[in-house]
Amino acid sequence: MKHVSIIGGGLAGSEAAYQLAKRGFSVTIYEMRPLKTTPAHSTDKLGELVCSNSFRSSQMTNAAGVLKEELKLMDSLIMHAAEKSRLDAGGALAVDREMFSSVITDTLENMENVSITRREVTTIPKGPTIIASGPLSSSKFSESLQSFLSDDALHFFDAVAPIVTKDSIDMNVCYYKNRYETSGEGDYINCPMDKEAYDAFYEYMMKGEGVMMREFEKNVFEGCMPVESMAQRGKDTLRFGPMKPVGLERDDNHKPYAVIQLRKDDARETMYNLVGFQTQLKFGEQKRLIQMIPGLENAEIVRYGVMHKNSFIKAPNHLHATYQTKTRADVYIAGQLSGVEGYVESTGSGLVAAVNMARQLQNESPAIFPVETILGAQADYLANANAKNFQPMNANFGLVPPLEGKHRKKDRKRLYGERAINALRRFKEAFNE
C-alpha cells in the first residue's frame, strides 16, 4: 500500500486524507495540535473552523453554491460533515462548529488506512506529501517551506467576528428576518439603527483603540478586512456593506437607516455572531461598541473578535493546476497556503490535490479539472495568475470562461452553474473518478 504524508488536519488536509484513503492509499495526517496550538484554534479536532461558521451561499446562482455541489458530486467528506451539522441560515450553509469538526475527526479516526500523528512537523518529509498546514503554520515549518520554495511567503490577516449569547439580545428591539424575504420568521437576528444611533456608533468606532499592526502585517485580504478599516473609507461605507439595511425592513413603518445582522453559531442556538464584524479593536473597545448597538445594550460577549496572521505562497510561481509543486513532483500544496480563500475553496483544493496525487502514484496522467467548473477554475487561477500582484481568491464566476452565445443577464449565473455540473459529470466519467 503506497503511503502519503499530509501536513495539517484542517479542511484541505482532512479532505485530502479522506479522498486518498478511500482510493486505497495509506495516509498519515500530521497535526501539531494540541501539543502546539495557534492564536486562533481552541480544540484538538480536525477541521476546526477558526473564522465564521458559514460556508456562504448554497444557491446554484452563486459560485460558492456551485462549488458545494461540485464537492458533493465528488463525495466530499467536508460537505458530508457540513450537511450533518447544518444550521438554519436562509440561503447560506452554516454549521454547528463542534458537531462539524467531530464528524470529520470521527470519520478519519475510524478509517483503517488513516493514522493521525500529533506532533509538529518542522521539515518537509521525504516521499509523497501534501502540505496543507494552513495560514497558521508553525514558524519552523514556515521557514522550511520558504527554503523549499526559494522566496518569501506573503502575509495578511484573517478574522474572527465577536459572538454574543442569544439570551442577552433584546428581542423587543431586534427581529428575525432574512434579506428580501417577505414571509417566514427568518434565520438572522437583525439589530436596526436609526441615523442618530448609526452616527454615534460610527464616531465611536473611528476613535476606538486597536491592536497595533506591524508594517509587514498590513497586507489585508479584502474579504477579511477589519470593520473599522472598512469604515475609514467613508461614513456610509458600512451602510453599503455589512450594515446594509436594504431588504431588512421590519415592516413598512419601520425602515432602518442601518442594520447589524447576527447569525446563529451553534445548533442549540445559544450563540450568535455579528456578521461581517471582524475587528482588531481591543477587547474593551469592542465591548463598548457592541453595547452601543440597539438590542445589544446588555449583550454577553462569549468571544471577542480577533485578527491573526495568515500566509500564502505565490502560487503562479510554484504550482501546477493540479496543486503539484514545480519544485518537487511528489509534493503538493493545498488549502489557504496555496492561495485559495475560504472554507469550500480550501476543501476543493485538498480534493483536487488528492485526486492527482492518487493518479500520480498509480502512474496515470494528471486530472486537470475543467475550467468550466469552480474546482478547475480556481486551480487554473492559481497556476496562471499574475505572480507579481497575486492575491488569494474566493470562488466567483469571473474565474470561469464566458458562456457561448447570447443570454439574458438574469439567466447567466444559473447557466454557469448548470454548465459546471455537466462538465464535472463528463470529467468524472472520462477519468473514472
pLDDT, averaged per 10 consecutive residues of the chain (433 residues), comes to: 95 98 98 84 89 89 96 98 94 93 98 96 96 88 90 67 92 92 81 96 86 50 76 93 92 89 85 89 93 96 78 92 97 96 96 98 97 97 88 88 87 94 97 92
Closest Cα to residue 87, out of 272, 343, 267, 275? 267
Q: Can you give the pLDDT at residue 217?
A: 46
Indicate the domain borders of the chain. 3-153+313-431, 160-309
Closest Cα to residue 384, out of 322, 311, 317? 317
Helix, strand or coil, per DSSP, at residue 349: helix
Count CB-CB contacts under 10 A for residue 110.
8
Alpha helical stretches, state H, 48-91: 63-73, 77-84
Closest Cα to residue 19, out of 333, 349, 337? 349
Grid coordinates of 184? 417566514
- Cα(331)–Cα(324) distance, rounded to whole angstroms? 6
Structural contact between residues 354 and 324, judged by C-beta atoms closer than 8 angstroms: no
210 pairs with which residues across the strands? 281
Structural contact between residues 155 and 219, judged by C-beta atoms closer than 8 angstroms: yes
Closest Cα to residue 15, out of 430, 358, 360? 358
Closest Cα to residue 120, out of 136, 100, 106? 136
- Cα(18)–Cα(415) distance, rounded to whole angstroms? 31
Q: Can you give the pLDDT at residue 214?
A: 47
Q: Can you give the pLDDT at residue 304?
A: 87
Q: Can you give the pLDDT at residue 72?
A: 98
Q: Can you give the pLDDT at residue 216?
A: 42
Distance of CA 302 to the CA centre of its chain: 22
The hierarchical CATH code for the domain 3-153+313-431 is: 3.50.50.60
Structural contact between residues 277 and 227, judged by C-beta atoms closer than 8 angstroms: yes
Grid coordinates of 320? 501546477
Architecture in CATH of 160-309:
Beta Barrel (2.40)
Contacts of residue 50, defined as CB under 8 A and 6 or more positions apart, other chains included, come to 38, 40, 41, 136, 158, 160, 308
Strand order, beta sheet including 114-117: 114-117, 26-30, 3-7, 129-131, 331-333
∠ at Cα 183 (193, 72), nearest 5°?
100
Grid coordinates of 307? 485578527
The answer to whether 3-153+313-431 and 160-309 have equal CATH topology is no
- Cα(16)–Cα(34) distance, rounded to whole angstroms? 21
Query: Residue 335, class by beta-carbon neighbours within 10 Å (0-12 exposed, 13-18 middle, 19+ buried)?
Result: buried
Q: Can you give the pLDDT at residue 208?
A: 80
